[in-house]
Amino acid sequence: MTANGNPRTLFEKIWGAHTVRDQSDDTPAVLYIDLHLVHEVTSPQAFSTLRERGLAVRRPDLTIGTMDHSTPTTPRNELGIIPVADALAAKQLDVFSKNCDDYGIPMYALGGEHQGIVHVIGPEKGLTQPGMTIVCGDSHTSTHGAFGALAFGIGTSEVGHVLATQTLLQNKPKTMAVNVEGRLGDGVTAKDIILAIIAKIGIGGGTGHVFEYRGEAIRGLSMEGRMTVCNMSIEGGARAGMVAPDDSAFEYISGRRHAPSGADWDAAVKRWRELPTDDGAIFDQEITIRADELSPMITYGTNPGMGMPISAAVPMPDDEADYNKKTALEKALNYMELAPGQKLLGKTIDVVFIGSCTNSRISDLRQAADFLRGRKVADGVRMMVVPGSQPVKRQAESEGLDEIFRAAGAEWREAGCSMCIAMNGDQLQPGQYAVSTSNRNFEGRQGKGGRTFLASPLTAVASAIAGVVADPRAMMSSTL
């Protein structure tokens, strides 16, 4: 599919198909939004704006809500209800519920059949489809790009814009091809790919860009692996990350609640097959990494760009020529209480968290459970497993994964964002170290004074068993 014969990228095709008004010298483009996901934390002030101005939600039928960020993941009571102990969180959830009711927006309430993390439920329900524009007041909206959608996070003012008009003012971003060539080795996963990319380009390396992940290793990933990669695009500064839709995407979508069916399905697939980047299309930037050279990755610092192969040593600030970067590294190591040149392998840990919109889907839980089967979480380590949604939780329980986690000494909890953002009481204590499958290791992100090592579910489980930061490959011969 070319316009005027010019080869176009996946991004350019979707952008071009959604401009209500083109960008001009005076105004950004006006982009139509096909799907708007809303949650309790970044929407209340947007609904207030609607009320103040007497505006309706233009398209509740293109909007869906879920409760995820401030929700407890603690057990249900005897009535099957998940109690909300935090009065502020309870009020925020009530306000969200009322807003969705008042404006006719379908919403998945806490503990309900479909509730879960906003970036888990979109694909799960078949709402996330190739070629769509998808936004949410959450920076990890980039997740949905795994299906060949243009999906990005927005602020609360923009949530209001989309609620009221179904459109957004956007300056056209640049494009960056991120090629991941070769094949992954055993014990190396999608999470390691994205941590390696961010370590290479830095936390601001993709600012102003949309990533398109390409290459053999990306094609070889499952859809859930692709979601993990796209999820963390924002940690490299890119608001959106995408993968060209292919048969893997179509198979994942097929039969889901909101997927097209019958003749509509055939028409949709025909349309979707025209989306991938044309041969000869030009990206503004291009980088390449080799999947076959990757090891399991781990972060050592206080942003996701501060990552390294798991057996490497923490970098030395004195080796950093740039003064700003040197002081940033010193500050990070000071917060993490790590020494320059120190190895993380063997470092004692307190908590392991398996969950978040990055790594809480059924394939993540299966991988974690398979590795943990017949083994124990080390004494002194608290391991939490938080499924991404109620359907993921039910699926895992139907497969007996919850029993494996419990038998090993891990906590099996209700669905939500949990310790990724630590708004709900699931948090690190000051000074604790965690190996976490989430997406951010910022100071205090998982609890004030807590310290986070980001890693894959395999590395997290290996570390839980060992009680120290551990390389999963060293333990895998007996499980694979």
Partner 1 sequence: MDKLSHIEGSIVAIPVNDIDTDQIIPARFLKVTDKAGLGKAAFCDWRYLEDGETPNPKFILNNAAYQEASVLVAGDNFGCGSSREHAPWALMGAGFKAVISTDFADIFRNNALKNGLLPIIVDRDTQQQLFSLAEEDPSTSVRVDVEAQTLTLPDGRAVDFPLDGFSKYCLLNGVDQLGYLLALDEETQRFEARNPQRVVTTA
Using the rule CB under 8 A, give the single segment among 308-316, 379-387, 438-446, 453-461 that binds partner 1: 438-446
SS3 assignment for 323-353:
HHHHHHHHHHHHHHCCCCCCECCCCECCEEE
442: contact with partner 1 by CB under 8 A: yes
- Shortest distance (Å) from residue 177 CB to partner 1: 19
Judged by CB, which is closer to partner 1: 219, or 258? 258
139: contact with partner 1 by CB under 8 A: yes
In the sheet with 351-354, reading across from the earlier edge strand, the strands are: 411-412, 382-385, 351-354, 433-436, 451-454
- Shortest distance (Å) from residue 127 CB to partner 1: 5
Interaction residues for partner 1, span 206-225 (CB under 8 A) = 207-208
- Shortest distance (Å) from residue 457 CB to partner 1: 22
89: contact with partner 1 by CB under 8 A: yes
Choose, by CB under 8 A, the member of 51, 325, 376, 406 that binds partner 1: 325
166: contact with partner 1 by CB under 8 A: yes
129: contact with partner 1 by CB under 8 A: yes
Judged by CB, which is closer to partner 1: 55, or 269? 55
Judged by CB, which is closer to partner 1: 161, or 191? 161
114: contact with partner 1 by CB under 8 A: no
Interaction residues for partner 1, span 240-279 (CB under 8 A) = 258
- Shortest distance (Å) from residue 152 CB to partner 1: 8
Using the rule CB under 8 A, give the single segment among 36-44, 112-120, 213-221, 468-476 that binds partner 1: 36-44
Determine how β-strand 451-454 pairs with β-strand 433-436.
parallel
Number of residues written out for the chain:
480
End-to-end CA gap in the chain: 43
Gap between the Cα atoms of 173 and 285, Å rounded = 12
320: contact with partner 1 by CB under 8 A: no
What is each CA distance from 117 to 338, 357, 461, in whole angstroms? 33, 6, 22
The residue to which tokens 């604790």 are assigned: 432
Choose, by CB under 8 A, the member of 357, 423, 454, 458 that binds partner 1: 423
Judged by CB, which is closer to partner 1: 120, or 369? 120
448: contact with partner 1 by CB under 8 A: yes
92: contact with partner 1 by CB under 8 A: yes
Gap between the Cα atoms of 328 and 338, Å rounded = 14
Are 222 and 259 spatial neighbours (Cβ–Cβ below 8 Å)? no
Q: Quick one: 307 exposed, middle or buried, by C-beta within 10 A (0-12, 13-18, 19+)?
A: buried
- Shortest distance (Å) from residue 123 CB to partner 1: 12
Choose, by CB under 8 A, the member of 10, 14, 57, 62 that binds partner 1: 62
What is each CA distance from 65 to 10, 36, 240, in whole angstroms? 28, 9, 21
443: contact with partner 1 by CB under 8 A: yes
Q: Count of alpha carbons within 13 Å of 333, Cβ hemisphere only?
A: 18
- Per the structure block, which two tokens stand in for 224? 């859930």
Choose, by CB under 8 A, the member of 75, 83, 106, 346 that binds partner 1: 106
200: contact with partner 1 by CB under 8 A: no
DSSP-derived letter for residue 168 is: E
- Per the structure block, which two tokens stand in for 328? 């940033």
119: contact with partner 1 by CB under 8 A: no
What is each CA distance from 380 to 276, 352, 409, 427, 432, in whole angstroms? 49, 11, 11, 16, 11
71: contact with partner 1 by CB under 8 A: no
- Shortest distance (Å) from residue 467 CB to partner 1: 27
299: contact with partner 1 by CB under 8 A: no
333: contact with partner 1 by CB under 8 A: no
- Shortest distance (Å) from residue 252 CB to partner 1: 15
For residue 86, what are the contacts with CB-CB under 8 A and spacing of at least 6? 70, 72, 424, 425
331: contact with partner 1 by CB under 8 A: yes
Are 444 and 468 spatial neighbours (Cβ–Cβ below 8 Å)? no
Strand partners of residue 108: 66
Choose, by CB under 8 A, the member of 25, 78, 247, 379 that binds partner 1: 25
203: contact with partner 1 by CB under 8 A: yes
Choose, by CB under 8 A, the member of 55, 269, 312, 345 that binds partner 1: 55
Number of chain positions touching partner 1 (CB under 8 A): 86
375: contact with partner 1 by CB under 8 A: no
Backbone φ, ψ for residue 116 (5° rounding): 175, -175
What is each CA distance from 218 to 183, 248, 370, in whole angstroms? 9, 11, 23
DSSP-derived letter for residue 122 is: H
Gap between the Cα atoms of 351 and 349, Å rounded = 6
Judged by CB, which is closer to partner 1: 156, or 432? 156
459: contact with partner 1 by CB under 8 A: no
Choose, by CB under 8 A, the member of 7, 74, 169, 269 that binds partner 1: 169
Gap between the Cα atoms of 385 and 457, Å rounded = 10
